[in-house]
Chain A
């Protein structure tokens, strides 16, 4: 599986993270999104005329939507990430997958504007981002009341991976995460998963490693 990837893209990170969590390897083909604009040049437009990344290639399967990539990775090697198959869980999963696309536009748009100088109506993007975070917070509060730490189930699914990156990086776009206790708990639960990998802007949870002992002779 080849992933056309930009290290700073939260959407590309969704795929890298999903692969790491499910023990699958990717052949990474780095794309010079910034400053090169390579995603809009001939070679990549030939693969994806929409000019977006990530792009995932596996044989003659070509995917250009990150949600589809998450589902593909889950179906291939880790179907437990797709929920229990009941109507209710499937619906919750799909609800949050669809929701996640709005985050690319609002939180992602704010981040691109504030950090990489892309055009946009920053006040509007931030306001829309706040509205989206409030929706997510309300959903996570209800899941928590049901005894479930994740969006669609009592275990993580592709829905959580689809929503996590843009939420975790909201502060990059000037949208604070301070007012959302349920999002904070959920974000921590994801970051503490086995085989979790970070991306730039998401720090390692150093508390997961015990205090290193000084004076044991090393160094």
Chain B
């Protein structure tokens, strides 16, 4: 991963897992995010907390270009301003009511959220196609050990499971868990993709067994 001191990019989700008009929970090292895509297709990352009564915005709903909180329907723009408070339909909400937002980049089927202000864009994933994301109850070191490979300069691990080659893009979560995005080389059949999906499930079992043994043995 690029050694930016002003900030860095975290791969939080796959594009295919964020359809238009939806919001999902995501995480960066800076905390919880409500990651959402407006009806027109634009992605935004808002802090996962409505400033009204602290409800998680990732439980909310997207209408048009705004994200609304499920509790009282307060709605926010992609830049974080509060647009509407349904209990007071005639009121223009003051600028002081806002949610923090984070920089977002979407490329090659992966969505990245910035922590701080990175100087460089997220790494390119040339020729790779995103397959799925899954969470492993293992840390990055353990996953590297289980796959027998370390991350390259892009932050990708090349893993081989049952003769399927796949690329893993890792994102540390809390409590020693890791979010793993699985990517494949461009040319593959349905059969290849299903094998790869099952292969990464095997890798997860292996990594989690290893992690459990490491935790037990101290």
Which residues does chain A contribute within 8 Å of B194, judged by CB atoms?
142, 145
Q: Are B132 and A181 in contact (CB under 8 A)?
A: yes
Which residues does chain A contribute within 8 Å of B90, judged by CB atoms?
214-215
Report the separation of the CA atoms of residues A198 and B89 in the bound assembly, to the nearest whole angstrom: 27
Interface residues of A in 178-192 (CB under 8 A from B): 178-179, 181-182, 184-185, 188
Which residues does chain B contribute within 8 Å of A145, judged by CB atoms?
190, 193-194, 197
Which residue in A138, A184, A215 is a CB contact (below 8 Å) of B17?
Answer: A184
Q: Are B132 and A141 in contact (CB under 8 A)?
A: yes
Q: How would residues 198 to 217 of chain A score, 1 for a CB under 8 Å from any chain B CB and 0 otherwise?
A: 00000101110011001100
Q: How far is the CB of A210 from chain B (nearest CB, A)?
A: 7
Interface residues of A in 75-124 (CB under 8 A from B): none
A203-B70, A206-B61 given; A141·B197 CB < 8 A: yes
Q: Are B63 and A211 in contact (CB under 8 A)?
A: yes
- The tally of residues in A whose CB lies under 8 Å from a CB in B reads 22
Residue B133 is within 8 A (CB to CB) of chain A in the complex? yes
Secondary structure dominating the interface of A = helix
Report the separation of the CA atoms of residues A145 and B13 in the bound assembly, to the nearest whole angstrom: 17
Q: Are B19 and A185 in contact (CB under 8 A)?
A: yes
Report the separation of the CA atoms of residues A206 and B194 in the bound assembly, to the nearest whole angstrom: 35
Q: Are A205 and B61 in contact (CB under 8 A)?
A: yes
Report the separation of the CA atoms of residues A142 and B134 in the bound assembly, to the nearest whole angstrom: 13
Residue B121 is within 8 A (CB to CB) of chain A in the complex? no
Q: Are A188 and B68 in contact (CB under 8 A)?
A: no
Give 17 new A-B contacts, CB below 8 A, not counting A206-B61, A215-B90: A134-B134, A134-B201, A137-B134, A141-B197, A142-B197, A145-B193, A179-B135, A181-B13, A181-B132, A181-B133, A188-B22, A206-B63, A206-B73, A207-B62, A207-B63, A214-B89, A214-B90
28 contacts between A and B (CB under 8 A): A134-B134, A134-B201, A138-B197, A138-B198, A138-B201, A142-B194, A142-B197, A145-B190, A145-B193, A145-B194, A145-B197, A178-B25, A179-B134, A181-B17, A181-B133, A184-B24, A185-B19, A203-B70, A205-B61, A206-B61, A206-B63, A206-B68, A207-B21, A207-B22, A207-B63, A211-B64, A214-B90, A215-B90
Closest 8 CB pairs of A and B: A181-B17, A179-B135, A207-B61, A214-B89, A206-B61, A178-B25, A145-B193, A141-B132
